[in-house]
Structure 1
Amino acid sequence: MRLNRWFYLFWTTLLIGAGGALIAGLALQLVNGRINFKSTADFIIYPLILLGYGVLVSVYAQLGFFAYMILNYTGSGVFPRKVWRYIQLALALLALLELMFLRQALGKERAAAPDLILGLCLLVFAIIVSYWKVRSTNDTAFVPTFFFMTAISIVEIIGVLQIGVGSATVFIVVPLLLCNAYQILILHRVLSKPVLNPS
């Protein structure tokens, strides 16, 4: 990937993350109504904090995306393509099962419903993104996209899940999933985009 293409992907992903965090933060504000704005400054600062947080989450999502690309390149080099697809599918399903059931079984004091709902939402979102990727490229893109949107996303959000606070989970999951979906869906367009000012 050339530097100008990476630069385009970097800044557009930053915007997606900032927008996703702003939407999630304002939605939680409307639902919970916990934060009372005492002045105009509070009304201005809160969205700015959300935008900054979204930018940080988008950078984190981009690190995960490039780690996935290295993993995918290595895996496809070590294993035959068909075997690597099965491995990715198995890892994706194991990650979903771990998120929805194993964490609750090991932590007996945990409630099962939040993890189950999050896992199901993640599964549905991953299937939609994978289907969209297939329509944009070809059938072989389904499994890698599904693996990225499930297993890699779960690895990225596992830290915040340890906190056990629903609002904190929403704050990181919404912008992170939007960034991940955007990156995987736009990748083939970025790579095939004509290079400006070729050297």
Structure 2
Amino acid sequence: MTSRLWVKLFLSTLLLGGVVTSITGFIVRWDEFSSIFMPFDFLEVLSVLFWLFGVGLIFSIISQMGFFAYLTIHRFGLGIFKSHKLWNGVQVVLILFVLFDLVYFRYNAFAEQGDSLLPYIGLAAMLLAAGLITAFLKVRISTKETFIPALFFMIVVTTIEWVPILRVNEYSWVWLMIFPLIICNAYQLLILQKINEQSRMHRQQLDQKKNIPLKK
């Protein structure tokens, strides 16, 4: 990936994180922010929007750090296990383990006596659904071998990025963070192939220019 395309990916993901968090923030924290709309207070709305956008930039940076970390881990995994099938098997085990953790361990840590298990299952199911949709879309623009790595990234890496908020277990923050993470992660995963193709074309053009003989 050329530096110009990397900067383009970084800035577009940054903007996406800010916008998604701004929208999500007003939805999940409407009870808190509704008072600034009735009556409408422009400066107050602007300040809240600016704050949410800034938080979204932080979420986006976390997402990008996780994405590039996974690209490195994926290459290491292929190098260690020497086989796509074996490495995919390891990733499937980790996916199941993380989904189990999201339900069982969070329920044991935060549920009070008599609380239902369904909200914890629902949270894991939502992440699984987002991962499956993204993985299927990745297969459509790439190859079937990308399904498991895409699913692993969307579930395992997203959960790791989500851990600081999951440990606090504050309801509005849990939802405020997860949607930007899912969307930013899916965006990076789905656009990577296009950016790599653009990068290859750009390098080919540069090589062609270098090989053009100088006129005497």
Instruction: Using structure 1 for the length normalisation, give the TM-score.
Output: 0.92
Matched, 1:137 2:142: yes
Letter in 2 for 1:28: V
Decide whether the 8 Å contact of 2:26 with 2:33 is kept in 1.
no
CA distance in 1, matches of 2:59, 2:106: 24
Structure-2 change in CA distance of 1:48 and 1:106 (3 Å):
closer
Counterpart residue number, 2:158? 153
Instruction: Say whether 1:84 aligns with 2:87.
Output: yes
Matched, 1:168 2:167: no
Distance apart, 1:114 and its partner CA: 3.1
**Equivalence for 2:22:** 22
Question: Aligned letter for 1:195?
Answer: H
1:180/1:72 CA distance change after superposition, 3 Å: same
Pick from 130, 135, 144: which aligns with 1:125? 130
| 1:115, distance to aligned residue in structure 2 (A) | 2.3
Secondary structure of the 1:105 match is helix
Pairs within 5 Å for 1:105-124? 105-107=108-110, 109=112, 111=115, 112-124=117-129
Secondary structure of 2:202 counterpart: coil
Partner of 1:78: helix, strand, or coil? helix
Which runs of 4 or more aligned residues in structure 1 lie more than 6 Å from their structure 2 counterparts after TM superposition?
Answer: none
CA–CA distance in structure 1, aligned partners of residues 57 and 19 of structure 2? 9
Q: Larger C-alpha radius of gyration, 1 or 2?
A: 2
Q: Name the CA distance, whole Å, in 2 between partners of 1:47 and 1:138.
A: 40
After TM superposition, give the deviation of residue 102 of structure 1 in Å: 2.6
One-letter amino acid of the structure 1 residue matched with residue 95 of structure 2: A
With over 3 angstroms needed to count, the CA separation of the structure-2 counterparts of 1:170 and 1:106, relative to structure 1, is closer
Shift of 1:195: 2.1
C-alpha separation between the residues in 1 aligned to 2:177 and 2:160? 13
**Structure 2: runs of 5 or more not aligned:** 208-216
1:66 is aligned, of 60, 65, 68, to 68
Which residue is 1:42 aligned to? 44
Aligned residue pairs total 198
Shift of 1:103: 2.5
1:70 corresponds to which letter in structure 2?
Answer: T
8 Å CA contact 2:103–2:121 kept in 1: the answer is: yes
**Are the counterparts in 1 of residues 88 and 148 from structure 2 also a CA contact under 8 Å?**
yes
CA positional deviation for 1:29:
4.1
User: Cα distance, 1:33 vs. partner?
Assistant: 5.0
Percent identity between the two aligned chains: 29
Q: TM-score, normalised by structure 2?
A: 0.85
The superposition leaves residues 140-188 of structure 1 with CA deviations (integer Å, 9 ceiling, x where unpaired) of 0100000000011111101101111110111111111110000111111
